Amino acid sequence: MKMMLGISGGVDSSVAALLLQQAGHDVEGLFMQNWEEDERSGPCTTDADRKDAVAVCGRLGIPIHVRNFAAEYWDGVFQHFLAEYRAGRTPNPDVLCNREIKFKTFLDEARALGAEKIATGHYAQVDCQDGNFRLLRAVDAAKDQSYFLHALGQRQLAATLFPLGGIEKPRVRELARDAALPTHAKKDSTGICFIGERDFRSFLAQYIPARPGEMRTPDGTLIGEHQGVMYYTLGQRNGLGIGGRHGASGEAWYVVGKDVAANVLYIAQGGENRWLYSRRLQTEAPTWIADMAPAVEFRCTARTRYRQSDQACLVSVQDGSLDVRFDEPQRAVTPGQSVVLYAGEVCLGGAVIAATDAPYGGLLPAFAPFPTPAAREMSSRV
């Protein structure tokens, strides 16, 4: 079977190529350039990564193709990224990149080159049960990337292999060393390529100019000035530029809300303050791995950010959205990010968060106070 591997020039996709070759597949590599470097975007590692990808394919003796998908990335991912920030939300471009580029544009190009299936170096697993393809968590829980793959459907999973899903990262490094792959000691990439090592706010300001405004507490007290509400995210502590204030506690300040229309950033003290907590969220249109919801209403676990532990919840499928109610209060649930649903090891799908019932979450009915974890613990001692 001819297999087209998305090879990035990192150790993960390098070992994925090795494993596919060892399994007897007719494997070829395809390097995707998804960003055009220029003075505004600053340094990106595309050129070095391409050279590493070519070196790995040379070492393994497999053909490599190079394709520039920068135009598709700009239209399908980056424009949405900017629109979300302009709206005061915090998007997750990795989710959209997987759906629009790696498992759409790349898949179509791979088939045009004669491949029957594609593979990537993602840490996840796919199986087929009763004719239905399922997305499963990776064996290495610390590296599992199913969160970022939740927007895939049956068409994509039927054509995809994840060679690293069943092994742990230390073993990946070991296999790379044993095979003398030139990427065996290469540092894992982090963050978003089009930002690189530069300061995020400086990058965003190249596309969305600063618009200074007021920083206020929830009771309306003026605290300082921000540079633009789009530069901040809920729960953010660093970068607020607030020193000690007379009459205030010594606790750190956190972003708890954004009023984009009025250009006001709301902040409050304490990492466990009630303004950061919600128990309910609503979403935009969901995507389902099985191409349909498991039920109109069901219980499962969910994550509202990548590194979060699973949270028990009740999900109601509504017209074009989801209503998710958590058993326990959730901290800094952020519109624009994704809520991803799980049934044990199986990823069910997910959706972009539209609003929550936090004080500034935008969800009706209005916020009803409930105790934070710290407050509950204190009350249990009384």
Q: Are 234 and 278 in contact (CB under 8 A)?
A: no
Task: For residue 307, give Cα distances in angstroms to 99, 208, 240, 310.
Answer: 20, 28, 24, 9
Q: Are 270 and 371 in contact (CB under 8 A)?
A: no
**N- to C-terminal Cα separation, the chain:** 67
Task: For residue 207, give Cα distances in angstroms to 83, 317, 371.
Answer: 10, 36, 40
Catalytic, out of 44, 57, 97, 300: 97
Task: For residue 94, give Cα distances in angstroms to 189, 258, 305, 342.
Answer: 13, 24, 12, 19
Catalytic, out of 57, 193, 300, 313: 193
CA distance 243 to 326: 35
Give the Cβ contact number of residue 313 at 10 Å.
Answer: 22
> Bridge-partner residues for 161, per DSSP?
119
CA distance 128 to 151: 18
Q: Are 372 and 277 in contact (CB under 8 A)?
A: yes
Q: Are 336 and 373 in contact (CB under 8 A)?
A: no
Q: Are 235 and 261 in contact (CB under 8 A)?
A: no
| 128 noted as active-site residue | no
- Residue given tokens 């028990």 in the structure block: 312
Residues 6 or more apart from 90 whose CB is under 8 A from it? 84, 233, 234, 334, 335, 336, 337
46-60 and 11-22 helices, crossing angle to 10°: 20
CA distance 118 to 108: 10
Q: Which long-range CB contacts under 8 A does 223-229 form with residues at least 24 apart?
A: 223/253, 223/267, 226/265, 227/201, 228/263, 229/88, 229/258, 229/259, 229/260, 229/263, 229/264, 229/265
| 44 noted as active-site residue | no
Q: For the purposes of burial, counting CB atoms within 10 Å of the CB of 65, is it exposed (0-12), middle (13-18) or buried (19 or more)?
A: middle
User: Which residues are part of the catalytic machinery?
Assistant: 97, 193
